Amino acid sequence: MTLRRASPADTAALRALMASSNGYERPAARAMIVAFASGWSVPDCAHEVWVVEEGAAIGAFFALIPHGADQELDLFFTANTAQGTGVGRRLFQAMADRASALGASCVVISSNPEAAGFYRRMGAVDVGVTPPGDGIAWARPRLKLLLQ
């Protein structure tokens, strides 16, 4: 597993990873993620995107954005074929390490409801609900990961 900072050249691969994610199987969720992915690109700003390469392919990625003095996990995807292999667990730890290196004391997560169990297993705790908005028509579990 090679972890590296994403570049704009990775945009097409990351869009495809998002659009094909089996975490968005409900029709409304599928339509939302496909629409979101089609307009998304690797940003060139304080918003950080990191990818995992497995050979020549990108198998997973995460994005962090500043959230006050802390960080927010904006995106977290693993390829469908990589799920259950430990890649997500290792990537989540890399995300937490990066957030710590950026000086954050916690990471805020507004989770896809289907992914909330993973974040809880990784140590995040529920702190509320993120209401619908930003193109998402349903409420999402809001979690917080305290960093060491």
Gap between the Cα atoms of 43 and 48, Å rounded: 8
> 76 and 40 in contact (C-beta within 8 Å)?
no
Looking at residue 83, what is its pLDDT?
A: 83
Mean pLDDT, contiguous 10-residue spans, the chain (148 residues):
91 91 81 85 85 88 93 92 88 96 95 92 95 80 93
Angle between helices 11-19 and 27-39 (to 10 degrees): 170
The distance from CA 84 to its chain's CA centroid, rounded to whole angstroms, is 16
> 127 and 143 in contact (C-beta within 8 Å)?
yes
Gap between the Cα atoms of 64 and 81, Å rounded: 24
Residue 55 vs residues 1, 2, 72, 90: alpha-carbon distances, Å: 8, 8, 29, 17
Give how many domains the chain has, as a whole number: 1
Looking at residue 105, what is its pLDDT?
A: 96
Looking at residue 56, what is its pLDDT?
A: 81
Structural domain span for residue 32: 2-146
Gap between the Cα atoms of 141 and 130, Å rounded: 6
Phi-psi region of 30 (alpha: psi -120 to 50; beta: other; left: phi over 0): alpha
> What CATH number has the domain bearing residue 121?
3.40.630.30
